[in-house]
């Protein structure tokens, strides 16, 4: 069993989260979660929430500059429609370098600003630069979108950098293709944390419906996902149910 499996709940007692049917729906869910976390303590939005750090993961099939820019614009628009100040986008790759009214990572390091900031698609190799930017940027909450080290689950390179880059994942939508014996199954890891401490959920597509198979307090590891799938498959297998029924019948006759 995985290290945090003691915190895992079984599928029978889980709520079914709303799985977004499109990228637009995922963006709206992410904005709702962000607004809930950022607007609770003040009518002026980000005031009083200095240095809060929240991360988001919304994968893109198309990583072109136009697609990246559209995602960032939609997120910023969603936040401002909810009454929150516009964060300054900081692009970390060639595909995000020309964000509307934004900065490059190099430019932000040379002339750091202040207020809310949205760091977009930093690579694992840029973790140290991002950590320096967090120290240099003047106040306001920090939002981070699609950080490579978060999406790959490996963390940043050094213990010191990992400490500097501790973010609370406020919204994660991570599609999975899970190998189960000789077949492959579609799955999702989701978290929508409009409140601190919201669980991580693992869902599996079964008979055309998304079935929640596990809920965890921490981000699921590959081992957690494999164990959850094994437990779910064992619990729902016709063979397993048949064996259970035979055992129950035998016990009743004793």
Confidence of residue 151 (pLDDT cuts 50, 70, 90): confident
C-alpha dihedral (160, 162, 164, 167), degrees to nearest 10: -170
Query: pLDDT band at 3, cuts 50/70/90?
Result: very low
Virtual torsion, Cα 176, 211, 12, 57, nearest 10 deg: 40
What mean pLDDT is reported for the chain? 81
Average pLDDT over residues 167-196: 85
The confidence band for 162, taking pLDDT boundaries of 50, 70 and 90, is low
Phi, psi dihedral angles at 113 (to 5 degrees): -100, -155
Domain ranges of the chain: 9-221
Q: Could you read off the pLDDT of 192-232 as tens digits, one per residue? A: 998 888 999 999 998 889 999 999 999 999 889 888 888 88
How much of the chain exceeds pLDDT 90, in percent?
50
pTM of the model: 0.82
- Predicted local confidence at residue 63, as pLDDT: 81
Instruction: State how far the Cα of 54 lies from the Cα of 46, in Å rounded to an integer.
Output: 13
Of 11-15, 88-92, 169-173, 226-230, the poorest mean pLDDT is in 11-15
- What pLDDT sits at residue 48? 41
H/E/C letters for each residue in 47-88?
CCCCCCEEEEECCCCCCCHHHHHHHHHHHHHHHHHCCCCCCE
Q: Give the least confident one: 15-24, 175-184, 238-247.
A: 238-247
pLDDT for 50: 47
Asked if pLDDT for residue 137 goes beyond 80, the answer is yes
pLDDT above 80: residue 94:
no
Average pLDDT rounded to a whole number, residues 166-170: 92
- Location of structure tokens 């693992």: 202
40 compared with 108, residue with greater pLDDT: 108
What is the per-residue pLDDT for 100?
Answer: 79
More confident residue, 163 or 157: 163
Least confidently predicted of 2-16, 139-153, 167-181, 221-235: 2-16
Residue 9 confidence (pLDDT) above 60:
no
Question: Would you state the structure tokens that stand for residue 154, as one six-digit string?
Answer: 């490996």
């Amino acid at each position: 069993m995985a290290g945090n499996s003691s915190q895992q709940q079984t599928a029978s007692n889980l709520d079914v989260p709303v799985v977004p049917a499109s990228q637009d729906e995922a963006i709206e869910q992410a904005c709702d979660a962000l607004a809930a976390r950022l607007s609770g303590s003040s009518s002026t939005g980000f005031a009083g929430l200095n240095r809060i750090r929240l991360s988001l993961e919304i994968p893109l099939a198309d990583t072109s500059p136009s697609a990246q820019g559209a995602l960032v614009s939609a997120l910023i628009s969603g936040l401002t429609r909810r009454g929150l100040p516009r964060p300054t986008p900081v692009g970390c790759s060639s595909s995000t370098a020309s964000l509307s009214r934004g900065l490059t990572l190099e430019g932000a390091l040379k002339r750091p600003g202040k207020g809310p900031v949205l760091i977009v698609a930093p690579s694992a190799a840029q973790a140290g630069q991002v950590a320096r930017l967090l120290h240099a940027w003047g106040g306001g909450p920090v939002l981070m979108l699609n950080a490579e080290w978060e999406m790959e689950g490996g963390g940043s390179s050094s213990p010191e950098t990992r400490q500097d880059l501790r973010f609370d994942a406020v919204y994660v939508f991570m599609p999975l293709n899970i190998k189960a014996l000789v077949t492959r199954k579609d799955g999702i890891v989701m978290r929508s944390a409009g409140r601190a401490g919201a669980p991580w959920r693992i869902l599996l597509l079964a008979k055309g419906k998304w079935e929640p198979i596990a809920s965890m307090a921490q981000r699921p590891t590959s081992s957690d996902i494999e164990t959850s799938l094994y437990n779910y498959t064992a619990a729902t297998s016709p063979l397993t149910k048949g064996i259970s029924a035979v055992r129950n019948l035998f016990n009743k006759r004793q």
